[in-house]
């Protein structure tokens, strides 16, 4: 056989080997993808039971981040329409069906009381601060807002909670992870390291369990909260931190002419946070900026940004202010079940501790 013949045979052999390798690789990828697809179908199985819903509509709903009945039942028709592009009647039909399946309606106070036993708490690091919030610290299924001037301890508390949520329940945590949305460049991993060491945790593990994102404007901030649901479904997220809630909105919407647009957008944003807290049983902690009110002649002229929208939507509202040296004062301004009260805590290198603790 000629040299050319041998070369032709070699080339044909190599091509056959490459084709076989590609087919083997494709088969392996397909076998890996199969469980993923099956898991996705399982997650959407209940939603697929809705009569009159096609595969395309089902896929649109899934892509919008709604993958279980409770999330679907908690949606408004407008929200579902915007997310999936379906019509008004179809959206209402889907949501009503989901609410029937989840038995969303009236129930006795006894049943509500039993369900609230599942609520968890995240310690602030200070026993007196925890008592101010009803004992145990921040509640899940609730939005806790802390507002105050710069240096009052808002961001320090945000970092402390991101560490403490990783502690086991018997130590004041939930054994979970945290999402941290930074709007003012306040996030510092070095603070997580200091606080983790003080709690006897591995700093590397602590930092791996905090998912951080920098929000550059109000639209970006809203998108990040929507994207957070993807991480929440995959990871054991038990805390969402936004530091601060109103900074981007305050910057993007200036003047009285844009006040209504800002408040409407902020209202939808906070309702999304509350829905995440309810559906996934997690805690939401937000910080808020303040402004000075020159019309106040007596008393503290400091007022939080966001007006009644933030005030009504926040479950717990706490006013932080500076005291002597490293001491800070926390005053509970609003709560659905607790009276107004205040306490003193300290912000140290090791984190937040009681005022009398050394």
- Write the pLDDT tens digit of every residue in 266-286: 999 999 999 999 989 999 999
Token representation of residue 333: 């301004």
CA distance 80 to 76: 6
Predicted local distance difference test score (pLDDT) of residue 288: 95
Could you please report the per-residue DSSP string of 165-234? TTS-GGGT--S-EEEEEESSS---HHHHHHHHHHTT--HHHHHHTEEEEE--SHHHHHHHHHHHHHHHHH
Comparing C-alpha atoms, which of 303, 309, 315 is closest to residue 261? 309
| CATH (domain of 22) | 1.10.150.20
Q: What is the mean pLDDT of the chain?
A: 84
Residue 334 lies in a domain: yes
Residue 108 lies in a domain: no
Residue 37 lies in a domain: yes
Residue 306 lies in a domain: yes
Are 144 and 97 part of one and the same domain?
A: no
Predicted local distance difference test score (pLDDT) of residue 291: 86
Are 144 and 234 part of one and the same domain?
A: yes
Query: Burial, 238: exposed, middle or buried (Cβ in 10 Å; 0-12, 13-18, 19+)?
Result: buried
Question: What is the total count of domains within the chain?
Answer: 2
* Mean pLDDT confidence for 3-9: 47
Are 130 and 95 part of one and the same domain?
A: no
Residue that terminates a domain, selected from 71, 101, 131: 101
Token representation of residue 77: 């028709």
Residue 340 lies in a domain: yes
* Mean pLDDT confidence for 138-156: 96
Are 120 and 87 part of one and the same domain?
A: no
Could you please report the per-residue DSSP string of 120-173? -EE--S-HHHHHHTTSSSEETTEEEEEE-STTSSHHHHHHHHHHHTTS-GGGT-
Comparing C-alpha atoms, which of 160, 155, 163, 159 is closest to residue 206? 163
Are 95 and 222 part of one and the same domain?
A: no
Token representation of residue 109: 């106070």
Are 185 and 253 part of one and the same domain?
A: yes
Predicted local distance difference test score (pLDDT) of residue 256: 81
Token representation of residue 327: 């001491």
Are 45 and 140 part of one and the same domain?
A: no
Neighbours of 357 (CB within 10 A): 14
71 neighbors 232 (Cβ within 8 angstroms): no
Are 43 and 177 part of one and the same domain?
A: no
CA distance 352 to 355: 9
The share of the chain scoring above pLDDT 70, in percent, equals: 83
Confidence band, pLDDT 50/70/90 cuts, at residue 101? confident
Predicted local distance difference test score (pLDDT) of residue 41: 43
Please report how many Cα atoms fall inside a 13 Å half-sphere around the Cα of residue 70, on the Cβ side.
7
Are 140 and 269 part of one and the same domain?
A: yes
Q: What is the pTM of this model?
A: 0.77
Predicted local distance difference test score (pLDDT) of residue 5: 52
Residue that terminates a domain, selected from 35, 67, 101: 101
Residue 28 lies in a domain: yes
Q: Which residue's entry shows tokens 């902020």?
A: 266
CA distance 5 to 1: 6
Residue 310 lies in a domain: yes
Are 182 and 308 part of one and the same domain?
A: yes
343 neighbors 321 (Cβ within 8 angstroms): no
Are 262 and 200 part of one and the same domain?
A: yes
Residue 271 lies in a domain: yes
Predicted local distance difference test score (pLDDT) of residue 343: 97
Are 82 and 129 part of one and the same domain?
A: no
* Mean pLDDT confidence for 83-112: 81
344 neighbors 356 (Cβ within 8 angstroms): no
Digit-coded pLDDT (tens) for 190-246: 999 999 999 999 999 999 999 999 999 999 999 999 999 999 999 999 999 999 999
Domain hosting residue 128, numbered range: 114-354
3-state helix, strand, coil in the chain (%, to 5): 50, 20, 30
Digit-coded pLDDT (tens) for 20-59: 444 444 444 444 444 433 444 444 556 666 556 677 777 7
162 neighbors 287 (Cβ within 8 angstroms): no
Q: Which range, of 127-141, 144-158, 260-274, averages the lowest pLDDT?
A: 260-274
| CATH (domain of 263) | 3.40.50.300
* Mean pLDDT confidence for 61-70: 72
Residue that terminates a domain, selected from 59, 75, 101: 101
More confident position, 223 or 63: 223
Predicted local distance difference test score (pLDDT) of residue 240: 98
Q: Which range, of 95-104, 237-246, 306-315, averages the lowest pLDDT?
A: 95-104
Where is 348: in which H helix or E strand? strand 341-348
Q: Which long-range contacts (CB under 8 A, 24 or more apart) does 187-195 make?
A: 187/159, 187/212, 187/214, 187/243, 188/159, 191/156, 191/159, 192/159, 192/162, 192/163, 194/349, 194/350, 194/351, 195/159, 195/160, 195/163, 195/350, 195/351
Predicted local distance difference test score (pLDDT) of residue 7: 40
Q: Which residue's entry shows tokens 């919030």?
A: 133
């Amino acid at each position: 056989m000629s040299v050319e013949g041998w070369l032709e045979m070699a080339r044909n052999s190599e091509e056959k080997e490459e084709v076989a390798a590609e087919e083997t690789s494709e088969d392996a990828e397909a076998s890996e993808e199969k469980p993923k697809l099956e898991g996705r179908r399982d997650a959407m199985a209940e939603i697929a039971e809705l009569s009159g819903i096609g595969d395309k509509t089902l896929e649109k709903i899934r892509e919008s981040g709604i993958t279980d009945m409770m999330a679907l039942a908690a949606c408004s028709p407008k929200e579902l329409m915007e997310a999936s592009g379906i019509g008004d009647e179809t959206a209402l039909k889907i949501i009503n069906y989901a609410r029937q399946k989840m038995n969303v309606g009236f129930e006795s106070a006894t049943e509500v009381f039993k369900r609230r036993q599942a609520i968890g708490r995240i310690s602030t690091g200070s026993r007196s601060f925890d008592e101010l919030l009803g004992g145990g610290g921040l509640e899940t299924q609730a939005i806790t807002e802390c507002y105050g001037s710069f240096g009052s301890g808002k961001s320090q508390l945000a970092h402390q909670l991101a560490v403490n949520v990783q502690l086991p329940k018997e130590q004041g945590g939930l054994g979970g992870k945290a999402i941290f949305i930074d709007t003012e460049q306040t996030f510092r991993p070095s603070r997580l390291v200091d606080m983790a060491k003080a709690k006897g945790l591995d700093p590397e593990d602590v930092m791996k369990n905090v998912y951080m994102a920098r929000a550059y404007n109000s639209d970006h901030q809203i998108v990040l909260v929507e994207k957070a649901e993807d991480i929440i479904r995959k990871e054991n997220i038990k805390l969402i931190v936004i530091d601060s809630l109103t900074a981007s909105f305050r910057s993007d919407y200036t003047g009285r002419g844009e006040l209504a647009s800002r408040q409407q957008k902020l209202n939808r944003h906070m309702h999304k946070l509350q829905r995440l807290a309810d559906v996934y049983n997690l805690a939401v902690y937000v910080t808020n900026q303040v402004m000075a009110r020159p019309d106040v002649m007596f008393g503290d002229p400091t007022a939080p940004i966001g007006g009644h929208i933030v005030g009504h939507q926040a479950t717990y509202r706490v006013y932080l202010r500076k005291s002597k040296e490293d001491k800070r004062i926390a005053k509970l301004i609003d709560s659905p079940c607790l009276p107004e009260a205040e306490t003193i805590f300290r912000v140290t290198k090791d984190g937040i501790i009681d005022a009398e603790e050394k």
